[in-house]
Amino acid sequence: MTNKIFLFEQLRDAPLVIDAIYKAGTANNYSDEPISKLIPSIPNARGFRYTKKNNSTDIAYVVLYSTGSEIEWPDTLDSSTGVFTYYGDNRDPGHEIGSKRGNRLLEKTFALSQNSFTRGRVPPFFIFQKTGNKRDVKFLGLAVPGNRSINVEEWLVAKWRSKEGQRFQNYLATFTVLDTGSEAISKEWLIDLKKNTVDSYTKTPRAWKQYVKSGIGNITPLAAESVRKYRKKTEQLPNNKDGMKIIGEIYAFFKDPFKFEKFAVEIVKMLDENFTDFDLTRPWRDGGRDAVGHYRIGPPTGKLPIECALEAKRYKLSSGVGVKETARLIARIKYRQFGILVTSSYLSEQAYKELYEDGHPVLVICAKDIVEILIKRGVSVKNIKEWLSSTFDS
């Protein structure tokens, strides 16, 4: 089924439909930009866009726009959970984290969302992403601040970044996209929100009413489970030049493939701090060296360690990990263990497919995953060499 497409001439009256494409104009300048034509009273700008309610300081609604291509600020929608993560607008050194208007909006909105008495003042967030075709955009959904699967303190967190030798902070915000069902979001609701007329706005989505009434604990996320459970090659490799350069630097740095294992362990620990106690000293019969560690689950004072076996494969981007390599890892997984395969390349489709279809408990971390994990920890194409040397040469 193809996405619904709205032409530029239709935008003024077009509703907001999940995954619909909204076409840009043909003038080849900023007047082509579709969002300002689609959403009433929204300016033609990047990043955070919002409008206030009439005769009020409260925000009527917010548009978050992501290019999806900024490797140092990887806004991400997890379609399987409905979780959307978005970086704030303090993206250069020399400024305090709250000095930018977008970050101030995040601070205020996330504070309002945590109190049942002020939750009604939280504005709806409409998420759009660039399609890659001129200025066309795709509507990802109606979102609210926070996510019920993580602690409230983690909904809005300050992340350190480094640029040109200067350190600074920016926000990483977590949102939940609401399951609005088959109903489109009408312009009437947006117009009423802007007018700030009465509490009973017309055409208000049921999902939004539920959020305002009961909070994030009682909403239904727009979680779309993938029909295909394994990733194709293109989905495992970086999709931009900077990502490719990062993987290239990693491959070149670890000329001794056995030293790549230490890097693999570090990547796993960066992915989730609950991975601990890795032992890199156990040689296997085939002459390689893998790691055995633990993943700790449960409350902070009573975590249960689950043992895991890790295998690291330093491969070129042109060479995929095949069935032979995955079979060796599967053979090493003991009772009550799960496996982790970390590769600087990708897993062949047949190997990935067999892992899933045979039900083997193996976590796959491929080239694209490595890049995303590093970027979220402040490692970029500009400082990857320095990070590798300072972390693994000592």
Instruction: Let me know if residue 373 belongs to a domain.
Output: yes
Rounded (10°) angle between helices 241-253 and 384-392: 30
How many domains does one find in the chain?
Answer: 2
Are 251 and 165 found together in one domain? no
Are 139 and 254 found together in one domain? no
What range defines the domain where residue 318 resides? 233-392
CATH code of the domain containing 255: 3.40.1350.10
Are 170 and 37 found together in one domain? yes
The residue among 204, 152, 193 whose CA lies nearest residue 174 is: 152
**Residue with tokens 């796993």, as numbered in its chain:** 268
Instruction: Let me know if residue 228 belongs to a domain.
Output: no
Instruction: Let me know if residue 53 belongs to a domain.
Output: yes
Instruction: Let me know if residue 224 belongs to a domain.
Output: no
Instruction: Let me know if residue 223 belongs to a domain.
Output: no
Are 182 and 241 found together in one domain? no
Are 284 and 150 found together in one domain? no
Are 106 and 161 found together in one domain? yes
- The structure's pTM equals 0.76
Per-residue pLDDT tens listing for the chain (394 residues):
457 999 999 999 999 999 999 999 888 777 888 999 999 888 776 678 999 999 889 999 999 998 876 777 888 898 889 999 999 999 988 999 999 999 999 999 999 999 989 999 999 999 999 888 888 999 999 999 999 988 999 999 999 888 877 889 999 999 999 999 888 898 899 999 999 876 656 789 999 999 999 999 889 999 887 666 778 888 899 888 888 999 999 999 998 777 899 999 999 999 999 999 898 865 554 444 478 999 998 887 788 999 999 999 999 998 889 898 888 888 888 888 899 999 999 999 888 888 888 888 899 999 999 998 998 888 888 889 989 998 888 6
Please state whether 336 falls in left (phi above 0), alpha (psi between -120 and 50) or beta: left
Are 185 and 290 found together in one domain? no
Q: For residues 157 and 280, what is the distance between their CA atoms, to the nearest angstrom? A: 33
The residue among 12, 9, 16, 66 whose CA lies nearest residue 38 is: 12
Are 214 and 238 found together in one domain? no
Are 263 and 377 found together in one domain? yes
